[in-house]
Amino acid sequence: MTDSQSPRAKLIDGNAFSAALRDEIATRVHELRDLHHVVPGLAVVLVGEDPASQVYVRNKHKRTLETGMNSFEHKLPADTPESHLLTLIEGLNDDPEVHGILVQLPLPRHINAQKVIEAIRPDKDVDGFHPWNVGMLASGGIGLIPCTPLGSMMLLRDTLGSLSGLKAVVIGRSNIVGKPMAHLLIRESCTVTVAHSRTKDLAAEVRAADIVVAAVGQPEMVKGDWIKPGATVIDVGINRITLPDGKTKLVGDVKFDEAVQVAGAITPVPGGVGPMTIACLLRNTLTACARLHNLDIPEAHPWA
Ligand SMILES: Nc1nc2c(c(=O)[nH]1)N[C@@H](CN(C=O)c1ccc(C(=O)N[C@@H](CCC(=O)O)C(=O)O)cc1)CN2
């Protein structure tokens, strides 16, 4: 490869960052146990047999135990009635050993996901999806922040330092990533545009941005010539595509091979934002535990 072909962008290593964050969380968990005799506990509920969700839940269980926390897994059949799930959540809300509750998404179609999210105690809602936590984020209060946007923000702050005054575009307006990400960027004094399927000239919006957060779930939709030279690209997409030879491959929402030649820094897929999601879930569980026990412990990786 000649110099003119060599990638310009710095690769943002989510695997390394998340491993360091998990180590820091493990240290805090051991301090909590030794000094305060409290062990944080995370309950994860999986309904059905979606293969990707099964992998994520298995990884959550493994990572939770590695930090020294308690992990409580609840695996329910796909035809579980909504009322059973709500009763399980009521029990977890009242369980003093459980400090964090997460219901893996997506849920089967017969279950109303919003109703389930609203049944979780806001101070145990380690996904940060309950309307109380949504409101706290929007109004600048102290709630629990959704894990993928929180992890993305940690990577951005680590890469750029202050984000103040930078132009950011968030592509996607989901409750899980797009909207909370926009709020976090506003908090960091960015000028934020939220683009979506009805945006008139998406390429022009992206070209104006110093920070691009792609969270649309469309494989390689953002092209390299849309990226402003030197911009920082956070690719939240995780899409499994089938290649002409029948093999499958994970790609993001950004055409990586093109964007890496233009951007200043970029997250790869896999190994970028994805691993931060579980590390931030553990961080939220530790935070929830400390708050529920009125313990004033230092945050793991205070980013803001
Ligand atoms: N209740 C929730 N459900 C879902 C969430 C969530 O935050 N809360 N997010 C996603 C899935 N997810 C965690 O649940 C998740 C996605 C991806 C990764 C990850 O580490 N990805 C790897 C690649 C993994 C692979 O090979 O497939 C990477 O990007 O490097 C972790 C967690 C939807 N549901």
Q: Whose CA is nearest to atom 13 of ligand 1?
A: 56
The kind and range of the H/E element at 248 are strand 248-251
Q: Report how far apart, in Å, the C-alpha atoms of 65 and of each of 18, 62, 123 are.
A: 16, 5, 21
pLDDT value for 4: 53
Q: What is the pLDDT of residues 152-185, one digit of tens each?
A: 999 999 999 999 999 999 999 999 999 999 999 9
The kind and range of the H/E element at 43 are strand 41-47
Q: What is the pLDDT of residues 209-260, one digit of tens each?
A: 999 999 999 999 999 999 999 999 999 999 999 999 999 999 999 999 999 9
Query: What is the ipTM metric for this complex?
Result: 0.96
Atom of ligand 1 nearest to the CA of 57: 14
**Which domains can be identified in the chain, with CATH numbers?**
37-121 (3.40.50.10860), 146-274 (3.40.50.720)
Q: Report the 10 Å Cβ neighbour count for 94.
A: 9
* Residues with C-beta less than 6 Å from any ligand 1 atom: 56, 102-105, 127, 147-148, 238, 250, 269-271, 274-275, 277-278
Q: How many CA atoms lie less than 13 Å away from 163 in the CB half-sphere?
A: 29
Residues tagged active-site: 60, 104, 127
Residue 1 confidence (pLDDT) above 60: no
- Cα gap 86→92, rounded to integer Å: 10
Q: What is the distance in A from the centroid of ligand 1 to the CA of 127?
A: 12
User: What is the torsional sign of CA 211, 160, 249, 15?
Assistant: negative
Q: Coil, helix or strand for 156?
A: helix
Q: What is the pLDDT of residues 181-208, one digit of tens each?
A: 999 999 999 999 999 989 999 999 999 9
Residue list for the binding site for NADP(+): 172-174, 238
| Amino acid type, 84 | H
pLDDT band at 92 (very low <50, low <70, confident <90, very high): very high
- Cα gap 187→264, rounded to integer Å: 23
